[in-house]
Copies of this chain bind each other. A is one copy, B any other.
């Protein structure tokens, strides 16, 4: 028999997820989470840097996936398209099948400012990772950061719609839509009008 029940990290994540959903983030104590997972408060902090972090375990995998996709993408594509395609690929494998779970997680986060801060922080980290991946493809750092920011703007817009009950389309499509919306917003200008040129 093993000395400890397996997958302590997973049990802590599950317990935290449940308790946050049941009674909210603030009214849940770390000791409480650990107790439900059959562990100690001290053990919780051995695995997670702080109370918030327990909700953001999947973030790093998502980031790695995206960086991989960007590195693997065709060289001829415009940078913003590269980013959005990477987001689409990662979405297919990591989001599409878990819509219910993702949505519930988002509700927990939306209900608490501290968690929102942490999520913004993770998004910022993702932006920098994307920018680094673009820079590795030869883009200058300034433009890379701007492009990464634009990409995450697209991602946020798409996910916001995807997690709404009325929406049933795949995230991949919503990403394409959001990219188109951003291009529309960015293209409208005073001193010049642009029109598509037939190829």
A100 on interface, CB distance cutoff 8 Å: no
A189 on interface, CB distance cutoff 8 Å: yes
**7 smallest beta-carbon distances between A and B, as pairs:** A186-B186, A78-B188, A120-B120, A194-B194, A117-B117, A192-B196, A117-B121
Which B residues lie within 8 Å of A150 (CB)? Answer: 150, 153, 182, 185-186
Known A116-B124, A156-B149; contact A182-B186, beta-carbon cutoff 8 A? yes
Contact indicator per residue, chain A 105-125, by CB within 8 Å of chain B (1) or not (0)? 000000001001110110110
The residue in chain B whose Cβ has the minimal distance to the Cβ of A74 is: B190
Selected contact of A197 from candidates B77, B160, B188, B195, CB within 8 Å: B195
Which B residues lie within 8 Å of A190 (CB)? Answer: 77-78, 81
Q: Specify how many copies of this chain sit in the oligomer.
A: 2
Min C-beta distance of A37 to chain B, whole Å: 26
Contact B153 A149 (CB under 8 A): yes
Contact indicator per residue, chain A 173-193, by CB within 8 Å of chain B (1) or not (0)? 000001001110111111011
- Max count, chain B CB within 10 A of own CB: residue among A146, A183, A185: A185
Contact A186 B188 (CB under 8 A): no
Which B residues lie within 8 Å of A182 (CB)? Answer: 146, 150, 186
Which B residues lie within 8 Å of A156 (CB)? Answer: 149
Contact B142 A146 (CB under 8 A): no
Which B residues lie within 8 Å of A126 (CB)? Answer: none
Selected contact of A194 from candidates B81, B117, B146, B187, CB within 8 Å: B187
A80 on interface, CB distance cutoff 8 Å: yes
